[in-house]
């Protein structure tokens, strides 16, 4: 049985048994918080549980490394929508120790891309369109610095409201311990 068929079979029972009822909430986060975190599988349940969050409490946005890579990319757009349209009034950027983005090597990914059949012509077209794939695929050397950079990108964004505190944290993916890197309330008072 395929993974998709397994999911669809489970979903049919989930809906018919009304298991969804215990998860029902509104689109507005009860704790008025939006979180940007890494897509690491260890954080799927650990992160919300370590923060005492339930379904409906927060908006969670995930990407590789919890990185705000572009000030006008989809991550910032999603955070702005959460703040302006969905009543979030605080933001947390939460990276994690032992993050794969700290070990990523663009050359290895590009090798794998080529081995999947993407041609040199395609890569050249991308390059001459102004995209530096090695830079685009790069990771980071320090999770602390990456979190600080993402927080600063949001705090200094021309469309981001100054009233909204942006916190930076790092979670231990083994035990859920959170370390505060940037206290958004202190930035508010400065």
Helices 143-155 & 74-84 angle (0-180, nearest 10): 50
Q: Residue 148 half-sphere exposure, CB side, CA atoms within 13 Å? A: 7
pLDDT, residue 95, reads: 98
CA distance 129 to 164: 36
Give the Å distances, CA to CA, from 163 to 4, 86, 110, 166: 44, 16, 41, 10
Give every CB contact of residue 185 below 8 A, 6+ residues apart in sequence.
165, 167
Query: Can you give the pLDDT at residue 20?
Result: 93
With bands split at pLDDT 50, 70 and 90, how would you rate the model's confidence at 127? very high
Cα torsion through 113, 114, 120, 123, rounded to 10: 10
Residue 154: pLDDT band with limits 50, 70, 90: very high
């Amino acid at each position: 049985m395929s993974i998709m068929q397994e999911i669809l079979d489970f979903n049919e029972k989930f809906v018919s048994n009304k298991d969804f009822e215990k998860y029902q909430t509104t689109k507005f986060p009860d704790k008025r918080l939006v979180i940007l975190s890494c897509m690491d599988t260890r954080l799927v349940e650990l992160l919300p549980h370590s923060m005492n969050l339930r379904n409906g409490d927060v908006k969670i946005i995930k990407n590789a490394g919890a990185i705000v890579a572009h000030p006008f990319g989809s991550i910032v757009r999603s955070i702005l929508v959460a703040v302006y349209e969905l009543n979030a009034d605080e933001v947390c950027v939460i990276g994690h120790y032992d993050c794969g983005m700290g070990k990523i090597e663009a050359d290895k990914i590009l090798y794998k891309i080529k081995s999947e059949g993407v041609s040199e012509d395609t890569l050249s077209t991308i390059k001459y369109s102004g995209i530096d794939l090695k830079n685009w695929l790069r990771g980071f050397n320090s999770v602390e610095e990456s979190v600080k950079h993402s927080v600063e990108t949001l705090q200094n964004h021309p469309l981001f409201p100054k009233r909204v505190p942006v916190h930076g944290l790092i979670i231990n993916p083994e035990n859920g311990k959170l370390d505060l890197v940037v206290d958004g309330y202190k930035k508010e008072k400065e």
